[in-house]
Amino acid sequence: MLLFEPLQVGPLTLKNRILMPAMQVGVGLLTPQGIAYHRERALGGVGTIITCATRVDCFVSDEAWGEPGGLEDFFTGLPRLVQAVHKAGALLGIQLAHPARYPGMVRGDKDGGEPVAPSDLEGRRGLTRQEIGAIINKFAVAAARAREAGFDLVEVHGTHRSLLREFFSPLTNRRTDEFGLGLEGRMHLGLETVRAIRARVGPDYCIVYRMAAEELTPGGITIQDAIGYAQELEKAGVDLLDVSVAWEKQRRASPPRTAPMATFAPQAAAIKPHVRVPVVAVGRINTPEVAEDILASGKADLVAIGRQLLTDPLWPLKVQEGRSHEIVACDSCNINCFAPIEYRRLPPGAPLCRKNPRLGREWATASPGESL
């Protein structure tokens, strides 16, 4: 199967074409719970894992991390996560994000700051050039420190409710300087961010960009916008394009059960002929037949399998070993596992996944003597 053929992505050789995308499940990164969660998916055979979106402020500010020990504990903990995933057989990347809608994103503190935007918008203040420059630097510093911690790649979060998506969108970017005024200006922040990261990490490190190929809102990002952006991102130093979509009033990134399988594969297929770097397809890729068809038809070079790996972490091994009939199928219910954490209200003891009660509890049910 093409799913299990290796793929060269920049300096990395991926053992298969299955990528677990960033998901905000709420299990954390550095706790025993978070490490066990990532490790279990690596043991299940996925080739590459990307962690949940992590604020770039976490790499530069004790206050932003908000944990005892601040940055010291953060940087001490990251290598433990990386080593656990590597030992279990997968590559690991971290998604770097600036979620502009939340307080504390400019100054990096927990209680101060204010929600910001590309330009004055719905009660959010437009960023100054100086603040934009500081944010670009934070991405670069975060990427360099992620490399030092042992991560195999960094993914820049440029879709959904991220600041970089808002700069790229004509719906939210109304600036009249070099960071606005047409497609070239709307691409400027993302391209400068990638260039700054490349300058800090060097030529032999993998940079992924998760981009919004389309905005499902009238007047938003179009496929033609995204094709031009993808080409410029490649020139700026991106090794892999993770193609998704966005919409301005979006609360969740995952398509519902009513959406077709391979929901956003057409967007990846539209971009792939225009770039030389590999492309990832996402969106309800739950069965091996759907995943294999995406690769065989040339729509994408990798498939991102998210919630299905929450439901059944052994999905890759079961497919590879001819045990697809044993797969526990995700039904894309979106009830607990992928609802935005700030809106999630779970009663004590409620499972994150109706079909996998181990999700988020892997650490508590590990085999005796198993080292996490």
User: Which CATH number fits the domain that encloses residue 54?
Assistant: 3.20.20.70
Residue 372 lies in a domain: no
Residue 204 lies in a domain: yes
Residue 371 lies in a domain: no
CA distances from 46 to 25, 181, 229, 362, 364 (A): 18, 42, 29, 17, 22
| CB count in 10 Å sphere of residue 331 | 12
Is residue 56 pLDDT above 50, yes or no?
yes
Is residue 103 pLDDT above 60, yes or no?
no
Give me the pLDDT at residue 252, please: 57
Give me the pLDDT at residue 105, please: 40
Question: What's the pLDDT tens digit per position in 313-324?
Answer: 999 999 999 999
Tally of domains in the chain? 1
For residue 104, name the pLDDT band (cuts at 50, 70, 90).
very low
Which residue range forms the structural domain that includes residue 162? 2-365
Give me the pLDDT at residue 329, please: 96
Is residue 157 pLDDT above 80, yes or no?
yes
- Is residue 226 within 8 Å of 269, Cβ to Cβ? no
Give me the pLDDT at residue 108, please: 39
Task: Report the range out of 51-65, 251-265, 289-303 with the highest average pLDDT.
Answer: 289-303
Helix (H) or strand (E) holding 135: helix 129-149
Question: What's the pLDDT tens digit per position in 116-134?
Answer: 999 998 888 999 999 999 9
Helix (H) or strand (E) holding 207: strand 206-215
Across 227-237, average pLDDT: 98
Residue 237 lies in a domain: yes
| CB count in 10 Å sphere of residue 79 | 13
Across 185-195, average pLDDT: 98
Pairing of strands 12-14, 7-9: antiparallel
Percent over 70 (pLDDT), the chain: 87
Give me the pLDDT at residue 240, please: 98
Residue 319 lies in a domain: yes
For Cα atoms 197, 202, 207, give the angle at the middle one, nearest 5 degrees: 50
Give me the pLDDT at residue 347, please: 65
* Whether the predicted model's global pTM rises above the 0.75 cut: yes
CA 212 to chain centre: 12
Across 290-297, average pLDDT: 98
Residue 228 lies in a domain: yes
Closest CA to 105 of 62, 56, 68, 139: 56
Give me the pLDDT at residue 255, please: 79
Across 253-279, average pLDDT: 91
- Is residue 370 within 8 Å of 362, Cβ to Cβ? no
Closest CA to 15 of 55, 45, 35, 39: 45
